[in-house]
């Protein structure tokens, strides 16, 4: 029999602590949509996505109502378009972005990810043209998200791609300067990108995946914070870890249930549950506040990295037993603009880009949703990407960079995106030019950690 | 399929009757009820069988919401599996 206190606990989590399923993401392979004629190929892409995902939004809404769990986003991820575009030999790859956007609007999904290229070791046919087209693609579409994988532990770091991405990030911000540079918020540069990630902007459907799968991303920083606030006083750190594990278990079980149910109703195999703690700008739903609840005066002060390491590890340990398949990014996210506590800490000056970089070595994902001054040079963006990729490469983990150059603005000002993307205080960056280092190009060799065989 | 109805709010006369009335009206069978009143706060949990319900889940939900408005309580109806999966291994 169900216990009253358990039922009331669940209701309280949903009503007062922002517990939700962040996203149900349908991954769709486009490998059968290849064609030498770009228009034909784009049509095939549109048709296949609309055919496969026609019931996605409705099914999500039905589950939401029946189970009483908010499902915030319904999303689609597709095969990296760099591959789909390879046979076309066309410069006008933006047609694919438009087809994806049109499909997203037809279906009513919130985002569609996969305007991507995987170039960790080098550029294949289609990749170069795709990357070049990103600024335009993200300025003429609304729901398309883009990602580029420029490094991996196995392959090393493609420094030519790193050099290129510095310019692409800046150009993307420039092209959307009239909309608070929103384009750059939909572009992620990865090292060790996972192929089954349901979270945007980095979701794409890897080539090793099935034709179609359902992946689910949970959320719930508010629940973890509330648990610590309620029972965390005078507990030692191992007991805190234990409390986080138990809470993460419950959150993930809910995600697993939604994933199984969505997969059954849509007749699509269940892929993975992503265990990430994804914050939202809502008050209380913040990863930074969890760290502060552990006893830090302000997120970013000394001790933050250790507290985050504990949180990240406990979330995984609690979550992994709750789900039959765990994947994606699975860890605590620290997107500055999407986290009320991080925004407050950045405004106070206790949280800066170098502390964030240190934090990314112990959590997923990376320097995420960080606004930087608009006069930042492309080489400096590239160097930030290279630093972050090096952390991922050496530690055999995913790292990512989602920087927003705030065109026309300086450190201390703010970019306002609204909705889930929140608002981003512009952070100062370090002095000194990395120009010569970045212009060398070439391939940064993979580390010894890659040689495991 | 079984669902859990929870009613939380300030205690007043006839909450139980109104909620179970709304269920009976549409053919929803009440299997179990527990309730407690703590310092004037009323918490009731009902396990109901909704397979023979003659309205959609959506409709039932909105009917109950109306009862909630009338009785000044917050009423949720959720599939029982959500609680089973979250609280049982």
What integer pLDDT is reported at residue A336 of this predicted model? 93
Q: How far apart are CA A275 and CA A277, in angstroms?
A: 7
Give the CA angle between residues A208, A212, A216 to the nearest 5°: 95
What integer pLDDT is reported at residue A1 of this predicted model? 66
Q: Do A257 and B81 touch (CB under 8 A)?
A: yes
CB contact at 8 A, A242 and A296: no
The domain segmentation of chain B, as residue ranges, is 2-87
Interface of A with B in 69-128 (CB under 8 A): 69
Residues facing A444 on adjacent strands: A157
pLDDT in tens, A222-269: 999 999 999 989 999 999 999 999 999 999 999 999 999 999 999 999
Listed in order, the ranges of chain A carrying CATH 3.20.70.20 are: 23-191, 218-444
Q: How far apart are CA A198 and CA A111, in angstroms?
A: 11
Tell whether pTM > 0.90: yes
Residues facing A118 on adjacent strands: A149
What integer pLDDT is reported at residue A96 of this predicted model? 97
A10 reaches B (C-beta below 8 A): yes
Q: Do B77 and A68 touch (CB under 8 A)?
A: yes
Options 3.20.70.20, 3.60.21.10, 3.60.15.10, 3.40.50.720; which CATH number does A218-444 get? Answer: 3.20.70.20
CATH number for the segment(s) A23-191:
3.20.70.20
Of the candidates A115, A117, A113, the residue with the CA atom closest to the CA atom of residue A126:
A117
Interface of B with A in 25-54 (CB under 8 A): 32, 34, 36, 43, 45, 47
- Provide the residue-wise pLDDT of chain A in tens; the chain has 453 residues: 678 888 888 888 888 888 899 999 999 999 999 999 999 999 999 999 999 999 999 999 999 999 989 999 999 999 999 999 999 987 789 999 999 999 999 999 999 999 999 999 999 989 999 999 999 999 999 999 999 999 999 999 999 999 999 999 999 999 999 999 999 999 999 999 999 999 999 999 999 999 999 999 998 899 999 999 999 899 999 999 999 999 999 999 999 999 999 999 999 999 999 988 889 888 788 999 999 999 999 999 999 999 999 999 999 999 999 999 999 999 889 999 999 999 999 999 999 999 999 999 999 789 999 999 999 999 999 999 999 999 999 999 999 999 999 999 999 999 998 888 889 999 999 999 999 999 999 999 999 999 988
Residue B42 has pLDDT above 70, yes or no: yes
Q: Is the ipTM of this complex over 0.90?
A: no
Domain formed by B2-87, architecture: 2-Layer Sandwich (3.30)
What integer pLDDT is reported at residue A223 of this predicted model? 92
Residues in chain A: 453
Residue A388 CB contacts under 8 Å (≥ 6 apart), including other chains: A191, A357, A360, A366, A367, A399, A400, A401
A65 reaches B (C-beta below 8 A): yes
What integer pLDDT is reported at residue A91 of this predicted model? 79
B77 reaches A (C-beta below 8 A): yes
Q: Do A10 and B82 touch (CB under 8 A)?
A: yes
Helices (H), A32-126: 38-52, 56-67, 81-84, 94-107
Of the candidates A221, A158, A178, the residue with the CA atom closest to the CA atom of residue A444:
A158
pLDDT in tens, A294-309: 999 999 999 999 999 9
What integer pLDDT is reported at residue A420 of this predicted model? 80
Q: How far apart are CA A258 and CA A301, in angstroms?
A: 37
Q: How far apart are CA A104 and CA B25, in angstroms?
A: 41
Tokens 């970013």: give the residue. Answer: A300
The DSSP code for B28 is P
């Amino acid at each position: 029999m169900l216990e009253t206190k358990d039922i009331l606990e669940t209701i309280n989590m949903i009503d007062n602590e922002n517990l939700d399923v962040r996203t149900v993401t349908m991954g769709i392979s486009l490998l059968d949509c290849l064609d030498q004629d770009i228009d034909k190929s784009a049509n095939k892409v549109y048709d296949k996505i609309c055919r496969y995902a026609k019931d996605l939004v409705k099914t999500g809404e039905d589950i939401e109502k029946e189970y009483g769990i908010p499902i915030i986003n319904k999303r689609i991820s597709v095969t990296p378009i760099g591959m789909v575009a390879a046979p076309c030999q066309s410069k006008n790859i933006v047609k694919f972005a438009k087809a994806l956007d049109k499909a997203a609007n037809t279906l009513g999904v919130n985002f569609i990810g996969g305007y991507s290229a995987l170039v960790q070791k080098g550029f294949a046919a289609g990749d170069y043209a795709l990357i070049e087209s990103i600024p335009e693609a993200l300025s003429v579409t609304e729901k398309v998200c883009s990602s580029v994988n420029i490094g991996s532990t196995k392959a090393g770091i493609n420094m030519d791609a790193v050099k290129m991405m510095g310019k692409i990030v800046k150009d993307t911000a420039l092209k959307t300067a009239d909309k608070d540079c929103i384009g750059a918020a939909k572009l992620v540069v990865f090292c060790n990108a996972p192929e089954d990630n349901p979270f945007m902007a980095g979701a794409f459907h890897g080539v090793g995946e099935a034709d179609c799968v359902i992946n689910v991303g949970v959320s719930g920083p508010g629940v973890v914070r509330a648990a610590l606030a309620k029972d965390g006083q005078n507990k030692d750190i191992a007991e805190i870890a234990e409390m986080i594990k138990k809470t993460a278990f419950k959150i993930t079980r809910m995600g697993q249930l939604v994933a199984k149910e969505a997969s059954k109703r849509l007749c699509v195999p269940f892929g993975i549950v992503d265990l990430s703690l994804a914050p939202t700008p809502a008050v209380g739903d913040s990863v930074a506040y969890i760290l502060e609840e552990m006893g830090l005066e302000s997120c970013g002060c000394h001790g933050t990295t250790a507290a985050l390491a504990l949180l990240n590890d406990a979330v995984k340990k609690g979550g992994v037993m709750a789900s039959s398949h765990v994947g994606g990014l699975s860890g605590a996210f620290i997107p500055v603009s999407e986290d009320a506590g991080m925004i407050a800490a950045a405004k106070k000056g206790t949280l800066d880009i170098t502390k964030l970089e240190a934090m990314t070595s112990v959590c997923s994902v990376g320097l995420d949703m960080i606004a930087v001054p608009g006069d930042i040079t492309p080489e400096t963006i590239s160097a930030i990407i290279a630093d972050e990729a090096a952390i991922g490469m050496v530690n055999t983990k995913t790292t990512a960079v989602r920087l927003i150059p705030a065109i026309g603005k300086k450190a201390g000002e703010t970019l306002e995106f609204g909705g889930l993307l929140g608002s981003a205080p512009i952070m100062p960056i370090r002095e000194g030019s990395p120009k010569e280092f970045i212009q060398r190009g070439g391939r940064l060799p993979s580390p010894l950690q890659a040689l495991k065989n | 399929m079984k669902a859990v109805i929870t009613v939380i709010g300030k205690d007043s006369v006839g909450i139980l009757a109104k909620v179970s009335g709304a269920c009976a009206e549409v053919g929803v069978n009440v299997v179990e009820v527990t309730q407690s009143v703590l310092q004037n706060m009323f918490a009731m949990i009902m396990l109901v069988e909704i397979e023979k319900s003659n309205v959609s889940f959506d409709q039932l939900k909105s009917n109950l919401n109306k009862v909630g408005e009338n009785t000044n309580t917050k009423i949720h109806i959720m599939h029982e599996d959500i609680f089973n999966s979250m609280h049982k291994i």
